[in-house]
Structure 1
Amino acid sequence: MKLLVKNIGIKKLIVGAAVVAGILIASTSGVGEDPGSYRFSRTPGVTAGGYPLPLTGEVIATDTVVVKREGAEVVSYPEIYVPGRETLGEDEMRILCIGSGNPDLRIGQAATGWAVELGNGEKFVFDIGGGTVGNLWSLGASPAEFDKLFITHLHLDHVGGIFGMFDAMGWSRNVPLQVWGPSGATEENGTAAFVENVQKASSWHIESKTGIAPSEGMTMVAHEFDYYNFTEEEPNQLIYNENGVKVYAFPVIHTIAGSVGYRLEWNGMSMAFSGDTEPSTLVAQQSKGVDVFIHEAFISAEAFAEKKSVTMEIAENVVDGAHTTAGTLGQLFEIAQPVLGVATHYSLDDDLIDPFFKEVEEIYEGPVAIAQDMMVINVTPDQIVTRMVMPDELSWPEPASELEEKPEIGELSDQERPEWITNTRIY
């Protein structure tokens, strides 16, 4: 039985510090600033339907706390997640939205990206669209630890930030960047070719840093799985199985061959991420019963045409021919029955919030949230808590925890400038 705790004001649950599964969660009072004094980019307000406006520091959701089992005790968390001030429990999963938007990059919405931290120390990134890397590093994350990237497909709004992630090489990440993703219909349209081409495009960059910075982080390793190995009888593939963590890939319906979604399972907890897809029973079945089901949701073709100033023909091609709208998202959540359904890839305009919930709730009555950049979801065996992150916008990435005292930096490049240019240097 799933109990719902609706509309809990998380701020009211703060009592100095709380204990989750024996793990201390530091009080935000240690910051020297009360959470109520934090400032987000917009003044708090609500829609006509009573949902928080975007970018106000409030979660846009039907429920901020969901209790997973009867009799479980609701444990308090600080109102806002301040990176570096909470210890992740050994039996806890933290899911962070580093990008909730679309190809049209906006200051308030990066393109698509999600980060997952597990209580056993494992860390993963699912898609790395433009604008997501700054959000990732603002979480106090170490590039040395976020070295596993899973790509759903090769649209630029899902991979455009890979250069920024790769550029954490050397002083921050002294290990190769590991990249998982599907093959395509042709070799050049697969993940392995994409990774090779990113490295080729970075050739000057890598050559210029050789002999200056540690070199182990200057490579990427592709783990391409065969898209055509999916069958009706075996619609998923186990592509990662280490340290008790399993990641499955499954095919989705999005433009051409080579688009997938993922399901991560660990310690009795789970999350699924659809990537981009048209509504599909396969996606819903592969995500059935997960704690957190993150699925794309697009605005209507009419709204798309108006916002983008394009014809209805183009809008319908994009929305109906490649994506999922709010109404059909409700159908998918009804099939999958997640503990928490999360819509991502949705444009966070004030006038689009109420229509989303109206359409979803016509079909699905479970807890639903609309993703915003810097939203965090904590999952434990007993509950799911959704909050916003207050990051340090000028933070430095954490240092590599396993960096050797004298790491290998290699020899300086022999691609020297003409001497006469060097002779103009001022000392």
Structure 2
Amino acid sequence: MEIEFLGTGAGSPSKTRNVSSLALKLLDERNEVWLFDCGEGTQHQILKTAIRPRKVTKIFITHLHGDHIFGLPGFLASRANQGGEEPLTIYGPEGIERFVRTSLQVTQTRLPYKLNFKLLSNPGVIFEDDTFKVSFDTLDHRILSFGYRIEEKAHEGVLLVDKVKAAGIPSGPVYGQLKAGKTVTLPDGREINGQDFIGPAQPGRTLAILGDTRKTPHTLSLAKDVDVLVHESTFGPDEAKLARQYYHATNLQAAHLAKDAGAKKLLLNHISARYLGKGVAMLEKSAQKVFANTHVVHDLEAIDVPFAKESGHVK
């Protein structure tokens, strides 16, 4: 599981940051990529990565401001031109289907794949299968804005090969039976229960990816105990009044949320073009005084989300 940031800027593109979009790469888990927001120029940013548009199966839109959706028509058309034939589902607020279908109709763009829309209203679970669950809640922005919580289901325990060998069990097809938890009878007459040789289940990873918002209680449940929290940081540490006035958040508000929620790592994005160089370092360092494991991301940065057993914290 890896998060690749395609655009980390706020409002308008700048020389160093494109507008909002990130890719959750689930290639090992389900051979898919999920996009969260699709601001103008997203398809151009994807060209600088190893992401294949045909692998994108879901797009989650946080809200309908242009810097989060203006890239959708172009990306959908490019996906068609680059071999995308599998259905694609777009989740988002009322109005997102009208925007997309109108854009495609006016430009006479025909897609060779089915486009599904899930218009969200009542907070709760919007997708769940054997591997993942996605839920959402409303935030506090000038227009309806959502935050998403992505929970990976637990992975089955692995076969403890060293323990199997120590028990004197010969290698061969029996290993597969033991891995499946079956009880097998060995040539020497011993009856072996596979469950005794399987390690504990590996807890899945959890992320919260939030849209534009000012401080609101709803974010606490979305971010509870997540491995990674992606939160906007449009304003700096001394701009709480401005943040509230413009329905955005400061870096310190995001840091306090991460601390209160018990998150393991905080990634700050949606950075104003006012912050460059030393300004970005200031956003990061001041937030780290509240929540140490904070990082301000930049365009095209990829963040791995390891299992807990691989690291005591998310690097």
Tell me if the contact between 1:112 and 1:158 (Cα under 8 Å) persists in the aligned partners: yes
Aligned residue number for residue 375 of structure 1 = 301
Contact 1:115-1:126 within 8 A present in 2 as well: yes
Mapped to 2, the partners of 1:324 and 1:335 lie a distance apart of: 16
Tell me the secondary structure at the aligned position of residue 147 of structure 1.
strand
SS of the equivalent of 1:377 reads strand
How far apart are 1:99 and its partner, in Å?
0.8
Select the residue among 91, 116, 141 that pairs with 1:221: 116
Q: How many residues align?
A: 257
Structure-to-structure mapping, 1:133-282, within 5 angstroms: 133-168=43-78, 169-183=80-94, 190-203=95-108, 205-206=109-110, 216-217=112-113, 220-226=115-121, 229-230=122-123, 237-256=124-143, 258-267=144-153, 268-282=204-218
The alpha-carbon deviation at position 141 of structure 1 amounts to: 1.8
More helix by share: 2
| Alignment partner, residue 228 of structure 2 | 292
Amino acid at match of 1:262: Y
Alignment-mate amino acid for residue 103 of structure 1: G
Aligned residues: CA RMSD? 2.4
Compared with structure 1, are the counterparts of its residues 336 and 180 closer, same or farther at alpha carbon in structure 2 (3 Å cutoff)?
same
Output the CA distance in 2 between the equivalents of 1:300 and 1:223: 35
CA contact 1:152–1:181 (8 Å) conserved in 2: yes
Letter in 2 for 1:173: G
CA distance in 1, matches of 2:281, 2:303: 22
Name the % identity: 25
Q: How does 1:17-36 map to 2 (within 5 A)?
A: none
Q: Does the CA-based 8 Å contact 2:264-2:314 persist in structure 1? A: no
2:12 to 104, 107, 110: 104
Letter aligned with residue 254 of structure 1:
H
How far 1:243 moved relative to its partner? 4.3
Residues 371, 327 of structure 1: alpha-carbon distance in 2 compared, 3 angstrom cutoff: same
Task: Return the alpha-carbon distance in structure 2 between the equivalents of residues 122 and 177 of structure 1.
Answer: 11
In 1, the alpha carbon distance for the partners of 2:60 and 2:209 equals: 11
Alignment correspondent of 1:307: none
Alignment equivalent of 2:270, drawn from 328, 345, 348: 345
Partner of 2:171: none
Distance 1:179 1:264 in 2: 16
Partner deviation per Cα, 1:315-349 (whole Å, 9 max, x = no partner): 96666331001222221111122111010001350
Pick closer, same or farther for the CA change 1:100–1:151 going to 2, 3 Å. same
Equivalent residue letter for 1:368: T
- Structure 1 Cα separation of the partners of residues 129 and 33 of structure 2: 12
AA aligned to 2:303 is I
CA distance in 1, matches of 2:6, 2:281: 23
Gaps of 5+ in 1: 1-92, 184-189, 207-214, 231-236, 304-314, 387-427
Amino acid at match of 1:181: G
CA contact (8 A) 1:116 1:125 kept: yes
Secondary structure at the counterpart of residue 54 of structure 2:
coil
Q: Gapped runs of 5+ residues in structure 2?
A: 154-203
- 1:356 matches 2:283: yes
Q: 1:242 and 1:216, CA in 2 relative to 1: closer, same or farther beyond 3 A?
A: farther
Matches within 5 A, 1:71-90: none
In structure 2, distance between residues paired with 1:283 and 1:291: 15
Question: Which shifted more, 117-126 or 369-378?
Answer: 117-126
Give the drift of 1:302: 8.2
Q: Following the alignment from structure 1 to structure 2, what is the Cα–Cα distance between the partners of residues 327 and 155?
A: 24
CA contact (8 A) 1:166 1:177 kept: no
TM-score (normalizing by structure 1): 0.56
Q: Say if 1:340 and 1:367, in contact at 8 Å, map to a contact too.
A: yes
CA 94–358 in structure 1, closer or farther in 2 if over 3 Å, else same: closer
User: In the alignment, which residue of structure 1 is the partner of 2:196?
Assistant: none
Letter of the 1:201 partner, please give it: V
Higher relative contact order (CA 8 A, sep 6+): 1
Corresponding residue number in structure 2 for 1:64? none
Aligned AA (2:280): I
Shift of the alpha carbon at 1:300? 4.0
CA, structure 1 residues 95+358, in 2 after alignment: closer, same or farther (shift >3 Å)? closer
> Is contact 2:23-2:34 (8 Å) kept?
yes
Aligned residue identity for 1:99: G
> Aligned partners of 1:95 and 1:358: how far apart in 2?
22
After superposition, where does 1:376-395 map in structure 2 within 5 Å? Answer: 376-381=302-307, 382-383=310-311
**1:35-74 alignment runs, 5 A limit:** none
Output the CA distance in 2 between the equivalents of 1:175 and 1:289. 34
Q: Is the 8 A contact 1:296 1:344 kept in 2?
A: yes
Q: Which AA in structure 2 matches 1:152? A: T
